[in-house]
């Protein structure tokens, strides 16, 4: 790519669980966000930009320009937060176009190496793969530089910003795309004490002071980041975008919006979106036209000249709105939907199967909810006056549009992808406990924020767990189990099986059922191909077989790298 014909650098900043109402520029008189407010004053701010109700689906839609229901990434955990390997990401699009690409922060589109950012179009990656970075200080258990675990010192928002600044300084002479998905303000609500004290002095409750403190920490770091862009001489040729991944989790001040993260009320899906590129976007413009996260990929393609992916997209470019600072929406409708597990369409009001419900909005501002309620967002942005009885034809038409759309975007199979065993770049591989299928009524696959997950209540010898796996290389493998058991509970027997291969292991003593020891359980030879990996009790001597904490499978005859 010739320097004189290249498009702008792209800096895409996304924060986590920060609501539309958590910005001073949107009218919140309590939160302090001077740097983000300045970014809005220097660029174009959208007042009706939307994302999915929760984070992994938003990330899938953002990276592909397609509704998340099409991508296989439909939930936030249990293996359902994996972007289909056949999807084309924004990183891949710009990498092929000659951009240096970097992802720094929270990926959350697949925890295994096949789905790693370095496999999905990003030359450089620094961050963590999954739902949240649970210990925000001096943690070495979840951070990666590329494919290698690294140790860090300091508050994670500062650490991510430092790495982002290094990326900008290193690649200032080449066109770059930097995707910076911070994990703040996701729980746990940790932030250095001075930020909390700032809001406690304003009279906020402790929880809200922590959240607002995290917002202000983010704002300080975004100010540092923009300063680095200026020092590198890239201000005029860098398109900076700021957005959040879903509605907010704070409750102190909502700017009149109803709902929070996880819901399809405006407080759950309406998010900030700001674009700044001096000389290309007008300063201080406000766009009221509705837009959505799926629009980012086609917009960036238009701005950079990169070709669109060769697959159907749901998003539409809003580059014209950014350049003009005004204009009409490219969409007839916006659709919102999310529930745990695979997507489900609620058929009657009160259907408990769909926990987060769905909604559809048209370009006029009418928004219909799954329970039959209709609102006019122009006169009622807080969704407090149901007008369905006054406009039954509009309500019926919008419901029909949603049902048509939902049928189209869910025309695929849903389920966990197999865990690959024997990859040379992921050996040993951890078998994620949360990806297990539990066979039995008592056995409990217990979520504990990833590093604390367990399988417990293993008291029935007829109950077992299994995983869908794919052995990519045949050979000799050993299995390590990390578990705990109560004193006197040792001596139980279990059977580990993968396809036709199996071995038995005798449970060894530990200091307690939640004091875990890693133990080499056994070995076998595996054939190439798909299989079920199972752990079954043979005999249970005490109250339970064990409390399982980790599983690793290592190919022992693999060539060393």
Give the sign of the dihedral formed by CA 185, CA 121, CA 81, CA 144: negative
Which long-range contacts link 204-213 to residues 24+ away (Cβ below 8 Å)?
Answer: 204/30, 204/252, 205/252, 208/250, 208/251, 208/252, 211/22, 211/185, 211/249, 211/250, 212/22, 212/30, 212/31, 212/32, 212/250, 212/252, 213/189
Q: Is-contact 313 328, C-beta < 8 A?
A: no
Of the candidates 512, 450, 465, 460, which has an alpha carbon nearest to the alpha carbon of residue 484? 512
Alpha-carbon distances, residue 490 vs 130, 217, 450, 486, 549 (angstroms): 33, 49, 26, 8, 16
Cis peptide leading into residue 543 (ω within 30°): no
Instruction: Confirm whether 116 is a catalytic residue.
Output: no
Q: Write the DSSP string, 431-461.
A: --GGGPEEESSS-EEE-STTTT-EEE----T
Instruction: Provide CB contacts within 8 A for 59, sequence distance 6+.
Output: 73, 83, 107, 108, 109, 181, 245
Q: Which of 26, 108, 293, 336 is catalytic?
A: 108
Q: Is-contact 489 455, C-beta < 8 A?
A: no
CA 464 to chain centre: 30
Instruction: Confirm whether 55 is a catalytic residue.
Output: yes
Of the candidates 48, 541, 27, which has an alpha carbon nearest to the alpha carbon of residue 286? 48
Cis peptide leading into residue 463 (ω within 30°): no
Q: Which phi and psi (to 5°) does residue 113 adopt?
A: -60, -30
Q: Which of 26, 50, 55, 498 is catalytic?
A: 55
- In this structure, the number of other CB atoms found within 10 A of the CB of residue 21 comes to 24
Q: Is-contact 75 56, C-beta < 8 A?
A: yes
∠174-180-184 over CA atoms, to 5°?
160
Enumerate the active-site residues: 55, 108
């Amino acid at each position: 790519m010739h320097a004189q014909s290249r498009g702008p650098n792209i800096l895409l900043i996304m924060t986590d669980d920060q609501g539309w109402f958590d910005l001073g520029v949107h009218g919140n008189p309590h939160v302090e966000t001077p740097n983000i407010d300045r970014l809005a004053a220097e660029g174009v701010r959208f007042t009706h930009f939307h994302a999915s109700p929760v984070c992994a689906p938003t990330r899938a839609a953002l990276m592909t320009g397609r509704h998340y229901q099409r991508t296989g990434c439909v939930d936030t955990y249990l293996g359902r937060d994996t972007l289909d390997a056949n999807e084309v990401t924004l990183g891949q699009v710009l990498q092929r176009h000659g951009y240096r690409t970097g992802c720094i922060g929270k990926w959350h589109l697949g925890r295994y190496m096949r789905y790693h950012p370095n496999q999905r179009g990003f030359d450089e990656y620094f961050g963590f793969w999954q739902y949240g970075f649970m210990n925000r200080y001096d943690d070495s258990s979840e951070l990666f530089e590329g494919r290698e675990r690294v140790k860090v010192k300091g508050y994670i928002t500062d650490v991510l910003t430092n790495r982002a600044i290094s990326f900008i300084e290193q690649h200032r002479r080449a066109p770059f795309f930097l995707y910076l998905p911070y994990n703040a303000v996701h729980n746990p609500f940790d932030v250095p004490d001075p930020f909390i004290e700032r809001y406690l002095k304003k009279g906020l409750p402790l929880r809200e002071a922590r959240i607002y403190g995290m917002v202000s920490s983010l704002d300080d770091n975004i100010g540092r980041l923009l300063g680095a862009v200026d020092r590198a001489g890239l201000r005029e040729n860098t398109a900076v975008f700021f957005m959040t991944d879903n509605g907010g989790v704070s409750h102190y001040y909502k700017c009149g919006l109803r709902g929070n993260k996880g819901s399809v009320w405006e407080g759950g899906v309406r998010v900030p979106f700001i674009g700044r590129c001096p000389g290309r976007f007008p300063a201080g413009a406000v766009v009221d036209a509705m837009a959505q996260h799926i629009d980012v990929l086609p917009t960036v393609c238009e701005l950079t000249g990169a070709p669109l992916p060769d697959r159907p997209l749901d998003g539409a470019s809003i580059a014209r709105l950014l350049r003009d600072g005004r204009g009409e929406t490219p969409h007839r409708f916006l659709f919102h939907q999310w529930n745990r597990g695979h997507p489900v369409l609620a058929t009657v009001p009160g259907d408990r199967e769909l926990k987060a419900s769905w909604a559809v909005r048209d370009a006029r501002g009418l928004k219909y909810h799954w329970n039959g309620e209709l609102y006019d967002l122009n006169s009622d942005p807080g969704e407090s006056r149901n007008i369905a009885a006054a406009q039954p034809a509009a309500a019926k038409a919008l419901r029909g549009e949603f049902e048509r759309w939902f049928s189209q975007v869910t025309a695929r199979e849903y389920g966990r992808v197999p865990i690959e065993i024997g990859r040379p770049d992921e050996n040993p591989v951890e078998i994620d406990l949360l990806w297990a299928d539990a066979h039995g009524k008592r056995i409990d696959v217990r979520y504990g924020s990833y590093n604390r997950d367990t399988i417990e209540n293993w008291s029935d010898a007829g109950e077992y767990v299994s995983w869908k796996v794919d052995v990519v290389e045949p050979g000799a493998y050993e299995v390590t189990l990390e578990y705990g058991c109560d004193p006197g509970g040792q001596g139980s027997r279990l059977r580990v099986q993968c396809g036709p291969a199996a071995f038995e292991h005798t449970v060894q003593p530990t200091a307690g059922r939640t004091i875990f020891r890693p133990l080499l359980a056994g070995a076998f030879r595996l054939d190439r191909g798909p299989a079920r990996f199972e752990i079954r009790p043979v005999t249970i001597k005490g109250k339970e077989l064990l409390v399982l904490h980790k599983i690793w499978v290592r190919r022992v005859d693999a060539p060393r790298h």
